[in-house]
Structure 1
Amino acid sequence: MKTESTVRVLHLISAFQMGGAEKLLLDLIAENAAQPKVAFTVVIMNDLISEELKDELLATGCEVHLLQRPPKHRHPKYLLKLMGIIRKNRIQIIHSHNFGSKMWAILCKMLFPKLRLVFTIHDTHIVKKLSGFHIFLHKKIINRNIAISNAVLDECTERHINNTTRIYNGIRLEKFYAFRKNNNAINGEIKLVNVARITHRKKGQDVLIRAVHECLHKGLDVSCSFIGGVYEYDKDSMIQLKALAAELQITDKIHFLGNINDVPSHLAQYDVFVLPSRYEGLGLVILEAMAAGLPVIAANIDGPSELIKHGLNGYLFESENDVDLANQILAMSINSSKRMNMVAEASRGVKEFDMAVMLANYRDLYQSLTAK
């Protein structure tokens, strides 16, 4: 039950499609609904909305406002709607999650100076690309920045954004435990899986396709399924990835499944999870795979390296090196006892990334801001 002392937070996000920030926000709202600790309101600015995610969000019972703004429209009516929601709900904090929503939050603070602003930096390379003006906004106008990993925190420190707190992203472990894979024996074809939006310049699906070809060349019977959607900003990735599979003559071994809403129930169908990203703020999908009982292989970049200790709870391969990735897949497939030990170790470690832990950290942060 909400009380007068409950912190009142408006989560502001530009779109609500199948993406890491959107799914994280959905899980956060669902976790809070199960045991309310903060009074959350959600505002989705734009008309780019997944119906499946929207239905899940509404099912939590949280107050949700869909402003249906066409992207890049600057009509003042959207600001007026935001102001009305802030007044009605007596909002104390606006927590924004991307560039566009950050700017709307700053406009609101100009009109309601007592508002506190929180911004989550969901990936590496975001802070590195900020102009001097936006660095000023993060240092002087936003009250607290949240870095989702030490890698992101380091980038903030490099640019002297010192009002930053590291709070690891979390997952709702029970969703994955319900479908957990309990038998890690591999019989016949090795089924690899990758979960990420189809944008290979960041997510590295091309590296994984080349690694599958290398595995087949080494005599390993292997296939790979890619779960993830194609978006307007990178339509060409799917075309290029399919062309690569055709060029390597392995189209029968590469499967593009598109967006799948119920990922937890699918993961247990596979043998090994692979994340070949070129850069990654943390890698929530690694935690999801660990919770689902899958052995994990990931690129040795900053975010995933915080989650995986090579040889202990998974394998790391040299970023962009498809031959090294193929070697790690081979090592994972032939050493069953090592594989089972890594799965067990990963299962123990993933518990500290439960969404309940993240929500508690958020609540503490919100309370510290309103106490001031």
Structure 2
Amino acid sequence: MTDTSQQSRAAAQDGTGASRGGGHAGGKPMRILHVLFSSRIAGSERYCIDLANAQAALGHEVHVAGISGSPMAGELSPRVRFHGLSLPLFRGMRLRWLARKIGADLAHAHLSPACKAVARGPKGLAKVATLHVGYKPRQHARLDGVICVNRAQLKRLDDYGGRAVLIANWMPELEAGAPLDLRARLNLPRGTRLVGAVGRLHPSKGCDVLVSAFLKASPPDAALVLAGEGPQRAELEKLSGGDPRIHLIGHCANVPGFLANLDLFVSPSREETAGLAILEAMQAGLPIVSTATDGPSEYLAGHPVTLVEPGSVDHLAAAIGVAFQPDNIAGLARVCYDMRPFSRSAGVANVLQFYSEIAARP
């Protein structure tokens, strides 16, 4: 199914993010080119930004190619050079030119457009991708390696001929958010219990399920706050039916500050490979209700969270209702999660080690 090294198999078996090595090929820094064409910053973009910044801090020469004017450029370390590429029709050609110009050892693609462009890169350039969504032969088959973020992805690689490894997402480096009084901002009573979610407003993220479940199960003194933008916003506003307890606040640049206000975090996705917002909610110590999608059902096993069937309004409503029960003393109490499996240093080291294995192939 996959051509995995012994180290890759070990990582795939435990999925703990235990470090697999320092990541320098032959003890020398690498020239790394990350590629991600996106006009927004969501989970995949934040993964790319954090990985690039961490690699640069370790002494590697790191470049990021993206859309001209991308907000990603402002989030990158001064050590990372951003290259804005315009005119989508010629991105593949410009990317090949860029890879040759900087002498890249390896290109790391993120999301579909980047995978297609990197696959057409120059010969001799090692090419890998992180499966932020899932394996698609037309996008990934020509790459030298793929990084799976959950075990289910490893099992769905079909006849992929490159190397594959499991490296679960890690908790990114976050700056402490500025104090944010969400209740005051929304003109809510101090005693309002806040349910919240962070993510793109897209059907795959299941916010419509969350709105319906909240309307069905939450008490009058609760409010639902959705942080994010996307094509489903108008539908969610209509579904809310003018209920003043439901708030769509748009993009939130201060996620730690937002989470600090919540009493309950919900991840209602219909499909989710990883779920960075869940890790951030764990770091904040929030009680969590999540759908049992591929990624969360795997890495949340053994943690004190509530998992429910994806797409089910009734099951999600029941879980929210239990959290708000008057006799459920621990329902909305802060939780101390074991964050060791989500080590940033170990995850970054594992990615660099995988790079070295790919670059060393004849």
TM-score of Structure 1 vs Structure 2, range by shorter chain: 0.7 to 0.9
How far 1:190 moved relative to its partner? 1.9
Give the TM-score of the pair, scaled to structure 2.
0.81
Check whether the contact 1:215–1:221 (CA below 8 A) recurs between aligned residues: no
Aligned partners of 1:224 and 1:359: how far apart in 2? 35
Residue by residue over 1:71-101, the C-alpha shift from the partner in whole angstroms, topping out at 9 and shown as x without a partner, is xx423xx455434432332211111112221
**Is 1:42 matched with 2:64?**
yes
Offset of residue 142 of structure 1:
1.1
For 1:250-276, what per-residue CA distance to the aligned partner results, in whole angstroms no more than 9, with x for missing partners? 2x0111111111211221011111011
Structure 1 CA distance for aligned equivalents of residues 210 and 319 of structure 2: 12
Shift of 1:47: 3.9
From 42, 47, 51, the counterpart of 1:24: 47
Distance 1:173 1:42, change over 3 A: closer
Question: Identity across aligned pairs (percent)?
Answer: 26
1:102 corresponds, among 109, 115, 131, to 115
| TM-score, structure 1 normalization | 0.79
Residues 238 and 338 (structure 1), Cα distance of their counterparts in 2 relative to 1, 3 Å cut: closer
1:353 lines up with 2:342 in the alignment: yes
The separation in 1 between residues aligned to 2:359 and 2:301, in whole angstroms, is: 38
Matches of 1:4 and 1:84 in 2, distance apart?
Answer: 27
2:30 equivalent to 1:7: yes
Letter in 2 for 1:150: R
Residues 212 and 222 in structure 1, CA contact (< 8 A), matched pair in contact too: no
Question: Counterparts in 2 of 1:46-195, with a 5 A limit?
Answer: 46-47=67-68, 49-50=70-71, 53-57=72-76, 59-69=77-87, 73-75=88-90, 78-79=91-92, 81-109=94-122, 113-123=123-133, 126-127=134-135, 130=136, 134=138, 138-139=140-141, 141-156=142-157, 158=158, 160=160, 163-173=163-173, 175=175, 188-195=191-198
Matched with 2:273 is 281
Could you say what secondary structure the match of 1:74 adopts?
Answer: helix
CA displacement at 1:215 relative to structure 2: 1.7
| Pair 1:4–1:63, CA change in 2 (3 A) | farther
Question: 1:63 corresponds to which letter in structure 2?
Answer: R
Measured after TM superposition, the shift of residue 287 of structure 1 is: 0.6
Is the 8 Å Cα contact of residues 176 and 291 (structure 1) preserved in structure 2?
no
Instruction: Give the corresponding residue for 1:196.
Output: 199
Structure 1's consecutive aligned runs of 4 or more residues displaced over 6 angstroms after TM superposition are 176-179
1:307-334 CA distances to partner (integer Å, 9 max, x unpaired)?
A: 2237x42111222222221221232234
- Given the superposition, is the C-alpha separation of residues 14 and 323 from structure 1 closer, same or farther in structure 2, using an over 3 Å criterion? same
> For residues 306-325 of structure 1, what are the structure 2 equivalents within 5 Å?
306-309=298-301, 312-325=303-316
- 2:65–2:85 CA contact under 8 A, matched in 1: yes
Please say if residues 299 and 317 of structure 1, whose CA atoms lie closer than 8 Å, have aligned partners that are also in contact. Answer: yes
* Alignment of structure 1 residues 324-339 onto 2, 5 Å: 324-334=315-325, 335-337=328-330
Counterpart pick for 1:241 among 223, 236, 247: 236
8 A contact 2:144–2:163 mirrored in 1: yes
Tell me, what secondary structure is at the counterpart of 1:168? coil
Stretches of structure 2 lacking an aligned partner (at least 5 in a row): 1-23, 180-189
CA distance in 1, matches of 2:304, 2:65: 38
The answer as to whether partners of 2:68 and 2:86 remain within 8 angstroms in 1 is: yes
Distance in 2 of aligned mates of 1:321 and 1:367 = 43
Are the structure 2 counterparts of residues 241 and 66 from structure 1 closer, same or farther at C-alpha, using a change threshold of 3 Å? same
Give the letter aligned to residue 19 of structure 1. A
> What secondary structure sits across from 2:311 in the alignment?
coil
Structure 1 residues 228 and 48: CA distance shift in structure 2, 3 A: farther
Q: Where do 5+ consecutive residues of structure 1 fail to align?
A: 180-186
- Distance in structure 2 (CA, Å) of the matches to 1:176 and 1:13: 26
